[in-house]
């Protein structure tokens, strides 16, 4: 059953982790977990300080090749009546050292305590949302 749009957006905004799906230049899917925040009606994520094998990340190369992405936020429970997910489809744009980059950084530092000591310094990805799709096991209020 679909979740009404305002509640779906609230679930996304209050969630702490999501998965970003993009498409490799060869057409294969690529999915990574992300931290994220909202700026207006868009989502932002950034490349942070956590160890990575390279700074030439696949997700950045994918977005440069094709900006079409999906973000999914979900809740798992052994009680399947409590399951839900929200998928956001849109276009991603990479920002470096501009106003969007600074706003993304501030939004992430505000949302995640961990970023207050080590703010992200890599590129920001701004996702403009074109479509919201959702599902839940049963009609219920969002758990607090």
Place of tokens 């403009």: 128
pLDDT of residue 144: 42
pTM to 2 decimal places: 0.90
pLDDT < 50 stretches in the chain = 142-144
Distance of CA 79 to the CA centre of its chain: 25
| Residue-range domains of the chain with CATH | 5-136 (2.30.110.10)
pLDDT for residue 65: 96
Residue 77, pLDDT score: 87
pLDDT tens for residues 33-47?
Answer: 999 999 999 999 999
Give the separation between CA 66 and CA 24, rounded to whole angstroms.
8
Residue 51 has a pLDDT of: 63
At residue 52, the pLDDT reads 64
Per-residue confidence (pLDDT) for residue 140, from 0 to 100:
55
Cite the beta strand spans of the chain per DSSP E: 18-23, 29-34, 37-39, 42-46, 68-75, 84-95, 124-136
């Amino acid at each position: 059953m679909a979740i009404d749009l305002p509640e779906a957006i609230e679930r996304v905004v209050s969630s702490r982790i999501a998965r970003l799906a993009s498409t490799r230049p060869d057409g294969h899917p690529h999915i990574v977990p992300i931290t994220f925040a909202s700026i207006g009606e868009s989502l932002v994520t950034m490349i942070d300080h956590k160890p990575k094998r390279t700074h030439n990340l696949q997700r950045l190369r994918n977005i440069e090749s094709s900006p079409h992405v999906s973000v999914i936020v979900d809740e798992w429970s052994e009680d399947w009546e409590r399951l839900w997910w929200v998928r956001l489809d849109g276009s991603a744009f990479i920002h470096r050292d501009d106003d969007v980059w600074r706003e993304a950084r501030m939004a992430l530092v505000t949302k995640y305590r961990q970023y207050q000591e080590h703010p992200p310094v890599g590129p920001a990805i701004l996702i403009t949302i074109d479509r919201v799709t959702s599902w839940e096991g049963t009609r219920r209020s969002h758990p607090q």
